[in-house]
C-alpha cells in the first residue's frame, strides 16, 4: 500500500503538480539503513520528502494518531499510517528511556530508512530551532549514520480556486554524519546534546536558516517570547561546544 499511494498520488502531485526538486540524491544509500534528519517547516515536509526519494521512507508519527479515537477523520489517518507502514512514536516515557523509540529501532533493524524531524514541531517562523535529542538516541542505539536533510518551499500558499498549493519545494540531501565513535552511549546527556547539535548544524549548513537556541514548541506555547527567541540566535547549534571524549580503548 505504501507504493500504491506513493506512485499513484504523491509522486505525481509532488513532482508534476508542485514541480519539486531533489538535490544531493547521491548522498542517500541505495541499500542499508540510515536516519534522515530534516528541518520542519510545514505538514508538506512529511510527504514531499518521501515522494522525491526512491526508497521507502518510514516517518514516525505521534502514537495517538494511530488510535483513531477522535472521530471519523482520525480513523482515516490511523488507517493510512498503518497501511503505509509508518510507526508510532510514544514520547510519554521520558527522555531517558528507549521504550518510546522501540518501533523506530525495529524499523531500522528491518533495513528501512527512517525520517526524523528533530525540532519536534513545525517552525513557528521559518527559522531553525533547537533539536530534541531523540535523533541522537536513535542513531547511537542503532549504530547508524544520520543524513541531514533541508526542505524549503513546503509552506502552502493560496492557489487556483483558493486551494492550498506548494510552489517548487526543494529537498537537499547532505553528506552522512558518522557518530560511530559514540555508539551505545545513548544515555549520556553530554554525548546526546553534542550529537544532536552536530546534526542540526549540518541541517543549517544546507538550509541556510537562522538558528534559534530554543525549542520551537516553547515559542509556540509562549513560554519563550518572540523577543527572547531573537536574543537566542546563534551562529550555529552547539556554538563553542567541544566533542565529548572518547575513551582511549574505543579509539581506532
Q: Is residue 194 part of a domain?
A: yes
Q: Evaluate whether residue 142 is within a structural domain.
A: yes
pLDDT of residue 92: 55
| Residue 118 pLDDT | 96
> Could you tell me the pTM of the whole model?
0.92
- Residues of the domain holding 175: 19-240
What is the count of structural domains for the chain? 1
Cα separation, 212 vs 229, in Å, equals: 6
Residue 75 lies in a domain: yes
pLDDT score of 162: 80
* pLDDT tens-digit readout, 215-234: 999 999 999 999 999 999 99
**What is the model's pLDDT at position 180?**
95
pLDDT at residue 69 in the model: 83
In the predicted structure, residue 60 carries a pLDDT above the cut 60: yes
The chain-wide mean pLDDT, for the chain, equals 92
- Mean local confidence (pLDDT), 97-107: 83
Q: Would 246 be classed as within a structural domain?
A: no
Q: Model confidence over 192-216: pLDDT tens digits?
A: 999 999 999 999 999 999 999 999 9
CATH assignment at residue 214: 3.40.1130
Amino acid at each position: 500500500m505504501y507504493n500504491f499511494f506513493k506512485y499513484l498520488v504523491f509522486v505525481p502531485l509532488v513532482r508534476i503538480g508542485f514541480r519539486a526538486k531533489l538535490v544531493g540524491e547521491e548522498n542517500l544509500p541505495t541499500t542499508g539503513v540510515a536516519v534522515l534528519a530534516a528541518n520542519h517547516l510545514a505538514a508538506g515536509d512529511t510527504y514531499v520528502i518521501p515522494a522525491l526519494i526512491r526508497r521507502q521512507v518510514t516517518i514516525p508519527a505521534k502514537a495517538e494518531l494511530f488510535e483513531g479515537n477522535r472521530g471519523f477523520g482520525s480513523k482515516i489517518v490511523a488507517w493510512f499510517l498503518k497501511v503505509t507502514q509508518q510507526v508510532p512514536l510514544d514520547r510519554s516515557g521520558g527522555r531517558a528511556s528507549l521504550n518510546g523509540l522501540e518501533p523506530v529501532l525495529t524499523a531500522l533493524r528491518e533495513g528501512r530508512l527512517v525520517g526524523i524531524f528533530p525540532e519536534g514541531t513545525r517552525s513557528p517562523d521559518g527559522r531553525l530551532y533547537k533539536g530534541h535529542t531523540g535523533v541522537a538516541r536513535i542513531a547511537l542505539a542503532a549504530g547508524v549514520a544520520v543524513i541531514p536533510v533541508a526542505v524549503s518551499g513546503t509552506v502552502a500558499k493560496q492557489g487556483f480556486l483558493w486551494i492550498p498549493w506548494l510552489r517548487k519545494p526543494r529537498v537537499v540531501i547532505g553528506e552522512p554524519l558518522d557518530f560511530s565513535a559514540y555508539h551505545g552511549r545513548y544515555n549520556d546527556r553530554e554525548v546526546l546534546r553534542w550529537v544532536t547539535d552536530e546534526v542540526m548544524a549540518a541541517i543549517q549548513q544546507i538550509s541556510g536558516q537562522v538558528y534559534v537556541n530554543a525549542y520551537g514548541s516553547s515559542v509556540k506555547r509562549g513560554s519563550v517570547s518572540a523577543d527572547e527567541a531573537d536574543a537566542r540566535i546563534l551562529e550555529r547549534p552547539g556554538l563553542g561546544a567541544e566533542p565529548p571524549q572518547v575513551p582511549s580503548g574505543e579509539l581506532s
